[in-house]
Structure 1
Amino acid sequence: MRLWSIIFAALVLLLTFPIDQERLLASAASAAAERQAEETAGQNGREPVPEPANIASESAILIDQESGLVLFAKNAFARMYPASITKIVTAIVAIETSELDETVTVSKEARNEDGTRVYLSEGEQKTMEQMLYAMMLNSGNDAATAIAEHIDGSKALFAERMNEFVRDVVGVHDSNFVNPSGLPDENHYTTAYDMAQIARYAMRNETFRTIVSTVRMPWDGLEWKSTLINHNRLLTSYEGATGIKNGYTRAAGNTLASSATRGDKSLIGVVLKAPSSNQAYKDMTALFDYGFAAFQSNTLFAKGETYTEEEGDTTREWVAQQPIRVLARSGDQPHMSVDSQGQVMVENDFGPQKVGQLEPVKTQVHAMRSEEAAAMPETEKEAATSSPYAIWMPAAGIVVAAAAVWAAAKRRKRNRDTSDF
């Protein structure tokens, strides 16, 4: 019986061996986490929220406003006519290149512009801010032309500025604008993806956000005294809607770029060539409902958090100047990586996409050292501790040693017993 007691003690000693205890604890924690995940899934019993299946618009997209990550897309890279959502570009360019209190004088060409107007008079003067409200709320083409001429002297020159802006500042490359209002032209086009990224850029600007979220404001013009009412119906019909702009021409059909925020989730959607105005809003509502129901916000990096990467003898370190957050399907962890330039990438169903940028802190090249001399013992140590023999060989040795001690003690006792007689 003593032998079995010794063997039992040896096994207890084995299980309390420090390295193996860590492994056992890690294994137990992992198993517990898996059981908890299974129990949670069983308790929730929720099926993944399906993507919208009946988007009638020819092109549509939904993105995470904070990161720009694409969450839904239908023909998102097809070139389409934008109609009056063109004015998103005109507005953000004007805000960034002029002062709101500048005086804008209406030309004859602006006075006689085609399409929707706020009935500006030739020679009438308004501030840039007033013109922006007239253009974005009431979709005044006359105001758009007056803005363009004020900044660059002509619509054509201003269109060149628009194209440079979306290419060089926003970073999209599949749009071309030939006028500031969106009037039809075969060379005036965009994509749902481009327009969503342009809208996302514009919504970072406080003045732009204030204008496009305004439902109504009084208008006191020389020819027209009225109340400007925002044509974007979602502002009064959808909870959390914050902007942005709708449009229509016969060639473009109905277009809509919109934004909405609920809690820690902000979305931007674009639909192009919807068969009707009602369908454009129905499609946008479906996109927003899907985004808010199916996704959750995840913090990839807190402000000030660092990221370190070692490659050979070089250690690189970056820091997040601002929090980097991204929407991912509820219950999923974002597939994140950081490239050699500090770009934070996330991959989802629509491929790898940049969602943030880390700033470099330092790059350190280590002094040459005897890698082979330092690495080989460590490698052997890792191999030894990872082998199953590393666990059981010590135990076997302990058991054998214990048995030998027990046998020797037995012999000594027998010898003592014999000598006593």
Structure 2
Amino acid sequence: MKRIFKTFNILFLFLFCFTYSSAQAETQPPQINAEGCALIDASTGQVLYGKNEEKVLEPASTTKVITAIITLEKCKLDDEVTVQEDFTKIDGTAVGLLKGDVVTVRDLLLGLLLESGNDCANALADHISGSTEAFSKLMNEKAKELGALHTNFKNPSGLPDPEHTTTAHDLALFLREAINNKDYVQLSTTPNYTITLKNNPSKTIVLNNKNYMINKNSRYYYPFALCGKNGYTTKSNHTYVAAAEKNGHVLVASFLNALDKDQNFHDMQAVLNYGFDNYSLVHLYKKGDEVSQYKITNNLTIPVMASKDIDYDVPKGQEDSVSSEIKIQDQDLSKQSFNEGDNILKGTVYVNDKEYTTMDLAAGTSRKYEFPLSINSLSNNANSELYIGSVAIVLAGVFGLRKLINIKLKK
């Protein structure tokens, strides 16, 4: 009996240790072949995994994400564009555009995102800024606006240039911005498309989506993939940036200088799975939620509302450990009018007593400020008769004094 009991204990301990080890292994960050990598939450911007995420490297054609962002901001999809140069004069991948071809912005964006056409990138840059050099300045301005502090662009396509660089973190920020645009997501996930030249309808260009992560027939297909952009040059090696969504949780992962293309596709899935398996998104505030009451005057206090969603990532199992509060910046609103929904205050969000982010706070009700002696305020005042009577006496006195002065002057 003792021998059976001892055997049972050994077996139990073995199973316990095996289960514990397996559970621990699931939380270990993946080992990947890319030199630079960043995994961020699309909602919060928090970095959930990083490997040399701030190291400056070449992005190759993942550059085209920000080219597309600027184009969607500056142009309408149906705008017509006249191509300024033959594709044969442009290095790298091209869809085959020739000088004088007339196409739409939609056509060029699909050529840019599906086939990674450098001729499409240049045509868009020329259309928007007049030259690729001028367009590069817009790219750098946009990068800084998005918080990408270690990026410098020299062209709209990602062709090799020692000064055309970014970081894995910055690259993830670009796609994070892009997926907020429905047109970008729709265009970048189009399976195939045919461009028909406006000036020569007999000429067509067939495009096929080269993003294998969204192609169900590809061995690299990832069921949670939203969209992505790949790149390659002999100097940058393989680069990629991808967004994925699982149960409403959206993550963005970027990879720079990956030597093994096949391994990189497996690594991308491993990094994204690591984020989904190990982090939960906690909703702190929803847009429109009342977050506080704010005292305008001694007699007036109004509700203030969150102007946007505020979320926070935590390791799974720690969701209940998150506490948050908003500290409102003091501001004198006693003599201001505003409408319900207007942003009137600034608030700082603290998570577990640490400063996390800032947020505009909107008025939960409208308020019309009136100068105390205005006609409207007098008419609504409980002592309006007294005020009106007082004003009438003062006016009568002024009028009488003026008349008396005129009489004396005549004498």
Give the TM-score normalised by the residue count of structure 2: 0.70
Deviations 1:89-138 (A, max 9, x none): 10010110111111111112655211000011111110001100001100
CA distance 1:345–1:286, shift in 2 (3 Å)? farther
Aligned to 1:303: 287
Report the 3-state secondary structure (helix = DSSP H, G, I; strand = E; otherwise coil) of the residue aligned with 2:211.
coil
In the TM superposition, what is the alpha-carbon distance from 1:198 to its structure 2 partner?
1.3
What is the 5 A alignment of 1:87-106?
A: 87-106=64-83
Do structure 1's residue 243 and structure 2's residue 227 form an aligned pair?
Answer: yes
- Alignment partners' CA distance in 1, 2:284 and 2:250: 16
Higher relative contact order (CA 8 A, sep 6+): 1
Do structure 1's residue 199 and structure 2's residue 199 form an aligned pair?
Answer: no
Partner amino acid, structure 2, of 1:357: M
Aligned to 1:326: 312
In the TM superposition, what is the alpha-carbon distance from 1:260 to its structure 2 partner?
0.8
CA distance 1:353–1:188, shift in 2 (3 Å)? farther
Do structure 1's residue 286 and structure 2's residue 262 form an aligned pair?
Answer: no
User: 1:269–1:288: 8 Å Cα contact kept in structure 2?
Assistant: yes
CA distance 1:56–1:336, shift in 2 (3 Å)? farther
User: 2:103–2:196: 8 Å Cα contact kept in structure 1?
Assistant: no
- Alignment partners' CA distance in 1, 2:223 and 2:195: 27
Partner amino acid, structure 2, of 1:239: P
- Alignment partners' CA distance in 1, 2:159 and 2:28: 33
- Alignment partners' CA distance in 1, 2:355 and 2:213: 31
**Structure ID, larger Rg:** 1
What is the 5 A alignment of 1:14-413?
A: 47=23, 49-108=26-85, 112-168=89-145, 170-220=146-196, 225=204, 227-236=206-215, 237-308=221-292, 318-333=304-319, 334=322, 336=324, 338=326, 341-344=346-349, 354=357, 357-359=359-361, 361=363
In the TM superposition, what is the alpha-carbon distance from 1:326 to its structure 2 partner?
3.1
CA distance 1:102–1:117, shift in 2 (3 Å)? same
Partner amino acid, structure 2, of 1:139: S
- Alignment partners' CA distance in 2, 1:305 and 1:160: 39
CA distance 1:338–1:281, shift in 2 (3 Å)? farther
In the TM superposition, what is the alpha-carbon distance from 1:319 to its structure 2 partner?
2.4
User: 1:116–1:140: 8 Å Cα contact kept in structure 2?
Assistant: yes
- Alignment partners' CA distance in 1, 2:54 and 2:155: 21
Q: Which moved more, 1:193-202 or 1:81-90?
A: 193-202
Partner amino acid, structure 1, of 2:129: D
**Structure 1 stretches lacking a partner, 5+ long:** 1-43, 363-421
User: 1:138–1:230: 8 Å Cα contact kept in structure 2?
Assistant: yes
**Structure 2 stretches lacking a partner, 5+ long:** 1-18, 216-220, 330-345, 365-411
User: 1:264–1:297: 8 Å Cα contact kept in structure 2?
Assistant: no
Number of residue pairs matched by the alignment:
314
Partner amino acid, structure 1, of 2:231: G
User: 2:33–2:260: 8 Å Cα contact kept in structure 1?
Assistant: no
- Alignment partners' CA distance in 1, 2:208 and 2:350: 41
CA distance 1:316–1:214, shift in 2 (3 Å)? same
User: 1:118–1:224: 8 Å Cα contact kept in structure 2?
Assistant: no
Q: Which moved more, 1:60-69 or 1:319-328?
A: 319-328
- Alignment partners' CA distance in 2, 1:148 and 1:58: 30
- Alignment partners' CA distance in 1, 2:89 and 2:98: 9
In the TM superposition, what is the alpha-carbon distance from 1:317 to its structure 2 partner?
7.4
- Alignment partners' CA distance in 1, 2:153 and 2:65: 12
Aligned to 1:23: none
RMSD of Structure 2 on Structure 1 (CA): 3.0
- Alignment partners' CA distance in 1, 2:31 and 2:69: 32
Percent identity over the alignment?
Answer: 32
**Higher share in helix:** 1
Partner amino acid, structure 1, of 2:187: I
Aligned to 2:397: none
- Alignment partners' CA distance in 2, 1:352 and 1:138: 43
Report the 3-state secondary structure (helix = DSSP H, G, I; strand = E; otherwise coil) of the residue aligned with 1:58.
strand
Partner amino acid, structure 1, of 2:241: A
Report the 3-state secondary structure (helix = DSSP H, G, I; strand = E; otherwise coil) of the residue aligned with 1:188.
coil
